[in-house]
Amino acid sequence: MARLAQTAGLSDVQSEILATVREFVDKEIIPHAQELEHGDTYPAEIVEGMKAMGLFGITIPEEYGGLGESLLTYALVVEEIARGWMSVSGVINTHFIVAHMIARHGTETQKRHFLPRMATGEVRGAFSMSEPGLGSDVAAISTKATRDEGSAAGGSGDYVVDGTKMWLTNGGTSTLVALLARTDEGADSPHRNLTTFLVEKPAGYGEVLPGLTIPGKIDKMGYKGVDTTEAVFDGFRIGADMVLGEAPGEGFSYMMDGIEVGRVNVSARACGIAIRAFELAIEYAQQRETFGKPIAQHQAISFKLAEMATKVEAAHLMMVNAARLKDSGARNDVEAGMAKLIASEYCAEVTQEAFRIHGGYGYSTEYEIERLMREAPFLLIGEGTSEIQKTVISKGLLKEYRLRG
């Protein structure tokens, strides 16, 4: 992409990382994505390649073995990867969120225990908030962690977890799940009764630990290859030292911090898919002829291309802005919500237009656009639906612009 989605002001290191990732995407992801996706096959070799490039540790601080790069670098890497195949970005996204939460909120012992092995990709993260009965309404979580005062672990009682979690991306392949559960230890707000636990487990399916079962993969319309699962906790015991930050009742705010960076990442994914849809459409439009000329020379099609490119550009700029804001240390809830909203909605629109430009061939599974058509809708849902983004944005604005005097 010579012209679109360029980012001003990148350092040499950032530019070098992006060039390496782009080459990897063009050589190792795009040529294999169709076959792997249609077979719902886990991209094991691609994941090994990403480990070798250090991508699992890209944002982990250098003192814990990572590359110590910014959210912006990560988001631009994700944009490149999603341009190749969204599922591959799904493999690293939950990992990245969990690493971010541990680096920001973990105790020193937790950081030393997890981050160096996360940086190499030996430990792989998933995060679990959603349940069969809730996704948007996080405060209504029903999975319960009750302190067993009878047994001692590091001086305090273990927790016993009961409940069913839903939609864990990387639920089967991960070895560390950041789990949000209700602890009800006396706070008067529902949000302050939620705690994040760091659940170490083996990869795989079935009863992976006493009291923790990961049933098989959920069959999805797109976003294939990457595993999405339930997690069933039934009398599962976990030590109090595995409470993130050893701070019961802080789980909701820790998760929301993770979700804020996650929303930038979902925006980046949407940008990547939209860029790819545009690339496919502009190429096809110059090859396919109707009424004696390439369809790109019909104004109706060239105007579609102009609108698609404008949406790609706008989404990219908002995503970059949200990432830079978070990197500056500022809260970016409104900007991340705006970026996620516009990027995911534009991605769905651009993909739909690219599909139309392909005519009947767009409906054939031989064409890449068919896959993008099944992937784009997930971005309207994951990390909070568009309605939830509008709720976050409007709340932030009403606070900022409240009437005075």
Ligand X SMILES: Cc1cc2nc3c(=O)[nH]c(=O)nc-3n(C[C@H](O)[C@H](O)[C@H](O)COP(=O)(O)OP(=O)(O)OC[C@H]3O[C@@H](n4cnc5c(N)ncnc54)[C@H](O)[C@@H]3O)c2cc1C
Residue pointed to by tokens 């030393």: 112
Helix/strand/coil (H/E/C) assignment for every residue in 168-206: EECCCCCCEEEEEEECCCCCCCHHHHEEEEEEECCCCCE
Active-site position among 366, 383, 387, 400 = 383
> Quick one: which of 42, 114, 127, 159 contacts ligand X (CB under 6 A)?
127
Distance from the Cα of residue 257 to its chain's centroid: 13
CA distances from 121 to 128, 305, 310, 384 (A): 19, 39, 37, 27
If we measure between CA atoms, which residue out of 273, 271, 280, 254 comes closest to residue 197?
254
When the beta carbons of 357 and 388 are compared against ligand X, the nearer one is: 388
Q: Does 159 bind ligand X (CB under 6 A)?
A: no
Q: In whole angstroms, how close is the CB of 381 to ligand X at the nearest point? A: 5
80 burial via Cβ count (<10 Å: 0-12, 13-18, 19+): buried
Q: Residue with CB nearest ligand X? A: 135
> Quick one: which of 117, 147, 220, 374 contacts ligand X (CB under 6 A)?
220
Q: Does 228 bind ligand X (CB under 6 A)?
A: yes
> Quick one: which of 382, 389, 392, 393 contacts ligand X (CB under 6 A)?
382
Stretch that binds ligand X, among 112-120, 186-194, 317-325, 382-390 (CB under 6 A): 382-390
The residues near 311 (Cβ < 8 Å, ≥ 6 apart) are 274, 346, 349, 350
Q: Does 6 bind ligand X (CB under 6 A)?
A: no
Q: Does 94 bind ligand X (CB under 6 A)?
A: yes
When the beta carbons of 7 and 173 are compared against ligand X, the nearer one is: 173
Q: d(Cα 302, Cα 188) in Å, to the nearest integer?
A: 58
Q: d(Cα 140, Cα 6) in Å, to the nearest integer?
A: 41
Q: Does 18 bind ligand X (CB under 6 A)?
A: no
CA distances from 97 to 90, 118, 125, 213, 404 (A): 11, 11, 8, 23, 38
Stretch that binds ligand X, among 114-122, 129-137, 240-248, 265-273 (CB under 6 A): 129-137
Q: Does 167 bind ligand X (CB under 6 A)?
A: yes
Q: d(Cα 234, Cα 164) in Å, to the nearest integer?
A: 8
If we measure between CA atoms, which residue out of 74, 94, 222 comes closest to residue 170?
94
Q: Does 387 bind ligand X (CB under 6 A)?
A: yes
User: DSSP 3-state assignment of 32?
Assistant: helix
> Quick one: which of 56, 223, 252, 254 contacts ligand X (CB under 6 A)?
223
If we measure between CA atoms, which residue out of 78, 77, 1 comes closest to residue 277?
1
Q: Does 42 bind ligand X (CB under 6 A)?
A: no
Q: Does 232 bind ligand X (CB under 6 A)?
A: no
Q: d(Cα 360, Cα 342) in Å, to the nearest integer?
A: 28
When the beta carbons of 95 and 192 are compared against ligand X, the nearer one is: 95
Q: Does 60 bind ligand X (CB under 6 A)?
A: no
> Quick one: which of 68, 116, 135, 396 contacts ligand X (CB under 6 A)?
135
Tokens matching residue 307? 């609108």
> Quick one: which of 134, 203, 256, 314 contacts ligand X (CB under 6 A)?
134
Q: Does 346 bind ligand X (CB under 6 A)?
A: no
When the beta carbons of 7 and 130 are compared against ligand X, the nearer one is: 130
Active site residue 383: yes
Q: Does 201 bind ligand X (CB under 6 A)?
A: no
DSSP string of 254-279, one letter each residue: HHHHHHHHHHHHHHHHHHHHHHHHHH
> Quick one: which of 7, 89, 110, 128 contacts ligand X (CB under 6 A)?
128
Residues binding ligand X (CB under 6 A): 94, 127-130, 134-136, 167-169, 220, 223, 228, 378, 381-382, 384-385, 387-388
Q: Which residues participate in catalysis according to the annotation?
A: 383
